[in-house]
C-alpha cells in the first residue's frame, strides 16, 4: 500500500450499515486483505450472529478495495466508484453463522481479468478458522 491518503470511502461507494469493512490491512493491484468486526448493525444480524451469507458481501467489498485501488492509480481519486457483482461462480461455507464481535479477515485476489470483467477468489477467516471460500464475477465500469 503506497498511497497513505486513500481511505475506504475513497475506494468503495458503500456507506452506513452496508459498509462492512473497517480496516484495510494490505492492498496492491492484484489483492487486498481487510478486517471487519461483526456488529449488531450488520445486515443479517439475528441478535447473536450474522448468517455466513454476509461473507459473500465481505469478499465483494474487499474486491472493491483492490479494484478501487487500481482505478485510483489509473484515473485519480475523483473517478467514479462503479462496479457490479454479476455472479457467484462458487461458494463454500464452513460455518452457518459468524458471532457478534468476531473479527473477520478477508483476502480477495483477482484471478482472471478481461477488459472490465474480473473473477475474484476470496477467503474469509476468523482467527485460524476458514469461514468461507467464494469465487465472484465482477464488472467494473471504464468511466472516469
What angle (nearest 5°) sits at the alpha carbon of residue 95, between those of residues 59 and 32?
A: 20
pLDDT on residue 67? 87
For the chain, domains (ranges, CATH) are 8-140 (3.10.129.10)
Q: Where are the beta strands (DSSP E) in 19-128?
A: 23-27, 31-37, 49-51, 83-93, 97-99, 103-114, 117-126
Q: Grid coordinates 439475528 are at which residue?
A: 46
Residuewise pLDDT in 10s, the chain (144 residues):
444 578 888 888 788 888 999 999 999 999 999 999 999 999 999 999 999 999 999 999 999 998 888 888 888 887 776 788 899 999 999 999 999 999 999 999 999 999 989 999 999 999 999 999 999 999 977 654
Amino acid at each position: 500500500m503506497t498511497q497513505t491518503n486513500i481511505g475506504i470511502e475513497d475506494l468503495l461507494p458503500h456507506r452506513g450499515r452496508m459498509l462492512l469493512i473497517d480496516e484495510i490491512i494490505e492492498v496492491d493491484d492484484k489483492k487486498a486483505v481487510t478486517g471487519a468486526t461483526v456488529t449488531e448493525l450488520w445486515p443479517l444480524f439475528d441478535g447473536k450472529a450474522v448468517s455466513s451469507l454476509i461473507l459473500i458481501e465481505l469478499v465483494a467489498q474487499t474486491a472493491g478495495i483492490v479494484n478501487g485501488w487500481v482505478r485510483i492509480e489509473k484515473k485519480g481519486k475523483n473517478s467514479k466508484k462503479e462496479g457490479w457483482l454479476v455472479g457467484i461462480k462458487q461458494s463454500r461455507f464452513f460455518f452457518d453463522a459468524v458471532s457478534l464481535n468476531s473479527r473477520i479477515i478477508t483476502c480477495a485476489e483477482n484471478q482472471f481479468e478481461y477488459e472490465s470483467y474480473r473473477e475474484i477468489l476470496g477467503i474469509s477467516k476468523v482467527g485460524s478458522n476458514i469461514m468461507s471460500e467464494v469465487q465472484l464475477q465482477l464488472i467494473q465500469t471504464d468511466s472516469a
